Each structure stands twice: as C-alpha cells, then as structure tokens.
C-alpha cells in the first residue's frame, strides 16, 4: 500500500512527485512508457510564458504567473538550463495595436511584470530580422526558454533521490476506490494508495471519467514543429509570438535554451491520442507563417521536425484537485500550454492539497538539490584533463555534433531514473540531437547501453516497446557470436 500513486511521469507528474517527496509518504509514479518525459512534455515549444495570454481569473493565468516566478529557484536547485530571454508578441496590422495594449492590460491584471508595447523602431534595435510587416510588439521580459526534458528529468531524479519509486512500461488499465482506498490496476498488477494523482496528459480524461460523474473531455491537439541547426542559432534573440489574426493563430519562432531555433506549432485536433505524425501541410504551414514575424529565417537548415499533442479540455482551463464525488483522487487534467511553465506551481499546489488531506509531515532529510550531468564543455582544459585522468570515458567523444563524451552517457545511464534507450540518452545528454541526428553516434550509444544494461544489442530500443533498432545477427555475425 502506497500513500500516493501518481499516474503519468510527464512534467506535471514528476513536479508533483518532487513536491510530495518533501513529505513523509510512500509514493509510486506509474508510467506507461519506458522513461519519464515521453509524451506531451517532450514535444513542445520549451517556453516559460510570462502569463499575459490566459484570461484573468483562470487557473491557467494563476499557475502560469506563479510557475514563472518559481522557475529561477527550481532551475537553480535542480540545475536545469533556463534563460529569461523575454518574449515579443508581434502584430502586423495597425488595427491590432489596440489589441496589443489590451493584452498588456490583461497581463498586468494577471500579475505579469515589465510588459511594454514597442514600436517598430524599438523592435528593430532588439530583433533586426523582424518581418517587414510588423508594426509593434508586446515585450514581456519575464518570459524565457527552458529545456523541457531536463526540467522533467530533474524533477524525477530529485523525487527518486528523496524516496519516490518509479514504475515504467506499466499502463494503468483502471482506477477505482474501495472502502476508502484507491486501487490502481496495470496489466500486470494492482497497487493501492490513499491518494491518486491523475497526471496522465492526453489520457487524463479517461482516468477522471472512471472515478467521477462529472465527465470531462480531452481532445489531443497536434502541433507540428521544425527545429533548425545551431548554426542558424542567434537569428532571433527572443521568443517571437504572433498576434492571432483572421487567418488563424500564428506560430512562434524562438531560440531554444541549447541555441537551436524552433518554429511552430500548428494546431490540429486529432482523435488518436498517440497521433504524433507530422504532415507535409503542417511543416509547410509553420514555415510559411514564420515569415510573417521573422524574415529570411534559414529554414533550409532544418535538422528535424516533430509533432506534440496538447491535452485540450473542452472547458479550456486546467482542471486541478479533487472532484467532489471522488475524494482522494487529484486531477491535473487539461494541462496544455502554459503547462510547462505552470508545472512547478501545479506540483506545489497538488502536493499542498494532498499534504492537507493525508496529514503528511515534512521530511527532515529532504534533499532539495540535484546536479545535472557534468558538461565537460564548461570546464577549462586543465579541469577537463583532471577529469579525464580520473574518468577516461570523458576523453572519448561519442556524439560529434553535440560533443557529448562517453562519460556523460555513462552518467545518464547510471544515475537515478537513468536512461535505458537511445531517446533516454538523447534527452539527458543531447547525444543524437545535433545535425546528423544520431547517424554517427547511434551504433556507439547502442553499444554503451548494451554493456551497461547487460543486454543483447537486439534488446536495445529507441524508446522502449517495439522500437528495437536491430532485430537479429547477420549470417556472419551469427558465426562470430
């Protein structure tokens, strides 16, 4: 019996796990994929929003602004890359300028600080590649960019260090209460707990509707993105949003925290909750729309494209806390943008509610900090040589595009909630995220995974499940074995 079971190891589930790990409680996170950060949390813009966008009084507005304010401390404690680069919401029509001021007022009502409307001349000084048609922009200095993988992984690692258990490759089939105790069934086993956190992303309505008569409905809303080479980095310096027009919602162009440039997303409602296939129309559309706000973007330097699914709930707002007919079941549902920004605040809010409910006491030996995988690029040559002397694996480059050493990959595999697949290594170290997209390093990373996990090469996967990379020995390979 657990005190708390969290369904879903995305950024919300992991943020809640980390917050709850501050208390004396037995906690289990159940995730259907093979790793944390495998759903919506891995495929989004990586933006920390300022908070002017959501309507005042909504949970989105509240948790956005709260989450934004918490981000510096969280990222410092957990060693997550985060840069407050500021955002510009541009409009391309004089008639929209009044709407920009309305956004500014809304932001101020929401508690966003430092908002200012810039005219074209002021804009050009800070963003020289701004589109020719852009007339003005709303400047939000508190907006930033973050690594969504690292934030989720850091929450999970820190939670694990503080005693939270993680169960992967386990899809929850049903949730039900019995005599005041929650039962959570996977295909293999049944777990019980005093409280359940529903952080199941695009599946959150499924679990909510199993336990409550107040039905909710989540529609996966697909967004296609393209990611440009770091060589095209620095083309824009801030996150550039577009004001929605009659032609629809715009796309954003932003540097990522790692120096790439990302463009997207589209917004297409889909039925399948796993439908993360990109489309030619989607990729074309983000490319075309980006030209409205940024001119001459080197879109030919694309290194990959991908799609993510937002968990859009019919009501349009986050659904947080206990439904009145399911005490002990805590929803974190409908978490779409600004979900990543809100995650620290949502995690703290839910943890606070559960603490109250279960009368949890604070842990005396809670460890609040976590160190990221050591990045040798940040060391001097002397420091690096000291490190290589102690750990020769730091002297071998495995991923040439992102200059990732074997030492970093071993760390990613060996640390708590460690990597077990190519994608797991990639999200923790960036090996395979560069311009060759793992063409060079994947056989090397596969070999390291095989060695470290004590598996056969045919068991090594891209991202768990059936995503094996090689299936069997060659004829000659058979003889060698």
CB of residue 397 to another protein, shortest distance in Å: 4
- Does position 481 bind another protein by CB under 8 A? yes
In angstroms, give the least distance from the CB of 46 to another protein.
17
Cα–Cα distances in angstroms (integers) from residue 149 to residues 75, 242, 296, 387, 446, in the given order:
13, 25, 29, 26, 20
Nearer to another protein, 160 or 404 (CB): 404
Beta carbon nearer to another protein, 42 or 104: 42
**Among 442, 445, 448, 449, which residue interacts with another protein (rule: CB under 8 A)?**
442
| Contact region with another protein (CB under 8 A), list: 163-171, 212-220, 236-244, 297-305 | 297-305
Q: Is position 183 annotated as part of the catalytic site?
A: no
Binding segment for another protein (CB under 8 A), chosen from 75-83, 214-222, 353-361, 441-449, is 441-449
Of 49, 208, 238, 312, catalytic: 49
Query: Strand 190-198 vs strand 87-91: parallel, antiparallel, or unpaired?
Result: unpaired
Contacts (Cβ under 8 Å, ≥6 apart) of 288:
none
Question: For another protein, which residue of 38, 303, 335, 409 counts as binding (CB under 8 A)?
Answer: 303
Cα–Cα distance for residue pair 449/421, rounded to 1 Å: 7
Contact call for residue 475 and another protein (CB under 8 A): yes
∠ at Cα 91 (88, 94), nearest 5°? 140
Q: Considering the complex, state which of residue 80 and residue 303 has its C-beta at the smaller distance from another protein.
A: 303
In terms of C-beta density within 10 A (0-12 exposed, 13-18 middle, 19 or more buried), how is residue 408 classed? buried
473 interacts with another protein by CB under 8 A: yes
Q: How far is the CB of 224 from another protein (least distance, A)?
A: 9
Give the residue among 401, 414, 434, 420 at the shortest CA–CA distance from 374: 414
Taking the complex as a whole, how short is the minimal distance between the CB of residue 300 and another protein, in angstroms? 9
Output the smallest distance, CB 163 to another protein, in A. Answer: 32
Question: What residues have CB less than 8 Å from 419, skipping those under 6 apart?
Answer: 35, 409, 412, 413, 425, 427, 428, 429, 449
Q: Which is nearer to another protein, 83 or 437 (CB)?
A: 437
Residue closer to another protein, measured from CB, 350 or 409: 409
Q: x/- string (CB under 8 A) for another protein, residues 12-51?
A: ----------------------------------------
Spell out the alpha helix ranges (H) of 318-465. 339-358, 381-390, 406-414, 422-429, 442-453
Residues with Cβ within 8 Å of 195's Cβ and at least 6 positions away in sequence, in order, are 3, 4, 5, 182, 328, 329, 330, 354, 357, 358
Please report whether residue 470 would count as binding another protein according to CB under 8 A.
yes
Tell me if 310 contacts another protein by CB under 8 A. no
Region from 141-149, 187-195, 236-244, 298-306 binding another protein, contact rule CB under 8 A: 298-306
Using rule CB under 8 A, residue 426 touches another protein? no
Which segments within 58-158 are labelled E, that is strand? 82-83, 87-91, 116-119, 136-140, 144-146
Cα gap 149→290, rounded to integer Å: 25
CB of 38 to another protein, least distance (A): 11
- 296 is a site residue for another protein (CB under 8 A): no
Taking CB under 8 A as the criterion, the residue among 24, 192, 219, 437 binding another protein is 437
Between helix 406-414 and helix 422-429 the angle, nearest 10°, is 110
Site string for another protein, 248-287 (x = CB under 8 A): --------------------------x-xxxxx-xx----
The first and second tokens of residue 343, run together, are 């995650």
In angstroms, what is the minimal distance from the CB of 346 to another protein?
28
Q: Which of 205, 114, 151, 103 is nearest to 339 (CA)?
A: 151
Assess 474 for contact with another protein (CB under 8 A).
Answer: yes
User: What values do phi and psi take at 408, rounded to 5?
Assistant: -65, -35
Residue 227 beta carbon to another protein: minimum distance, rounded to whole angstroms? 8
Q: 149: closest CA among 9, 301, 347?
A: 9
**C-beta of 366 vs 440, nearer to another protein:** 440
| Residues in Cβ contact with 55 at an 8 Å cutoff, skipping those fewer than 6 apart | 61, 106
Element of type H or E holding 223:
strand 218-228
Q: Between 134 and 463, name the residue whose CB sits nearer to another protein.
A: 463
Q: Rounded to 5 degrees, what are φ and ψ at 357?
A: -65, -45
Closest to another protein by CB, 97 or 302: 302
User: 217-246: which residues touch another protein (CB under 8 A)?
Assistant: 226-227
User: Which 348-407 residues touch another protein, going by CB under 8 A?
Assistant: 381, 384-385, 388-389, 392-393, 395-397, 400-401, 403
Residue 350 three-state SS: helix
Asked if residues 354 and 196 have their Cβ atoms less than 8 Å apart, the reply is: no
**Least separation in angstroms between CB 108 and another protein:** 41
Both structure tokens of 337: 């943008």
Q: Counting contacts by CB under 8 A, is residue 461 touching another protein?
A: yes
Q: Kindly list the residues in this chain that would bind another protein in the complex (CB under 8 A).
A: 226-227, 274, 276-280, 282-283, 302-306, 381, 384-385, 388-389, 392-393, 395-397, 400-401, 403, 435-440, 442-443, 447, 457-458, 461-478, 480-481
List active site positions: 49
């Amino acid at each position: 019996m657990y005190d708390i079971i969290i369904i879903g190891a995305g950024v919300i589930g992991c943020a809640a796990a980390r917050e709850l790990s501050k208390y004396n409680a037995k906690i289990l996170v159940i995730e259907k994929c093979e790793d944390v950060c495998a759903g919506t949390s891995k495929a989004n813009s990586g933006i920390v929003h300022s908070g002017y966008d959501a309507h005042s009084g909504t949970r989105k507005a509240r948790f956005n602004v709260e989450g934004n304010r918490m981000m510096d401390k969280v990222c410092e404690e957990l060693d997550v890359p985060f840069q407050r680069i500021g955002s510009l919401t541009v409009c391309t029509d004089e008639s929209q300028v009044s709407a920009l001021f309305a956004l500014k007022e809304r932001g101020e009502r929401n508690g966003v600080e430092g908002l200012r409307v810039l005219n074209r001349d002021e804009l050009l000084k800070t963003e020289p590649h701004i589109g020719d048609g852009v007339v003005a922009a709303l400047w939000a200095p508190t907006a930033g960019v973050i690594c969504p993988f690292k934030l989720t992984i850091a929450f999970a690692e820190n939670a694990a260090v503080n005693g939270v258990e993680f169960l992967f490759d386990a899809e929850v089939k049903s949730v039900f209460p019995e005599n005041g105790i929650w039962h959570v069934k996977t295909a293999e086993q049944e777990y019980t707990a005093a409280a359940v956190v529903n952080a199941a992303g695009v599946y959150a309505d499924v679990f909510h509707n199993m336990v409550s008569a107040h039905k909710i409905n989540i529609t996966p809303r697909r967004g296609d993105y393209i990611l440009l080479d770091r060589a095209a980095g620095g083309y824009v310096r801030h996150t550039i949003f577009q004001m929605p027009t009659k032609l629809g919602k715009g796309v954003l162009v932003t540097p990522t925290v790692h120096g790439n440039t990302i463009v997207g997303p589209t917004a297409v409602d889909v039925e399948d909750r796993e439908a993360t296939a990109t489309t030619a129309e989607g990729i074309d559309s983000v490319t075309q729309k980006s030209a409205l706000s940024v001119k001459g973007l080197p879109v030919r330097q694309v290194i990959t494209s991908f799609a993510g699914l937002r968990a859009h709930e019919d009501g349009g707002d986050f659904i947080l806390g206990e439904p009145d007919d399911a005490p002990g079941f805590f929803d974190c549902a409908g978490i779409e943008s600004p979900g990543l920004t809100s995650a620290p605040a949502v995690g703290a809010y839910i943890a606070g509610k559960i603490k109250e409910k279960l009368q949890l006491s604070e842990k005396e030996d809670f460890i609040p900090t976590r160190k990221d995988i050591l990045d040798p690029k940040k060391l001097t040559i002397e420091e690096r040589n000291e490190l290589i002397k102690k750990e020769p694996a730091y002297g071998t480059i495995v991923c040439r595009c992102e200059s990732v050493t074997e030492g970093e990959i071993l760390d990613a595999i060996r640390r708590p909630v460690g990597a077990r697949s190519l994608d797991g290594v990639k999200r923790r170290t960036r090996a395979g995220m560069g311009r060759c997209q793992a063409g060079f390093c994947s056989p090397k990373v596969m070999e390291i995974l095989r060695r470290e996990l004590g598996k056969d090469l045919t068991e090594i996967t891209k991202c768990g499940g059936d995503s094996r990379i090689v299936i069997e020995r060659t004829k000659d390979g058979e003889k060698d074995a």
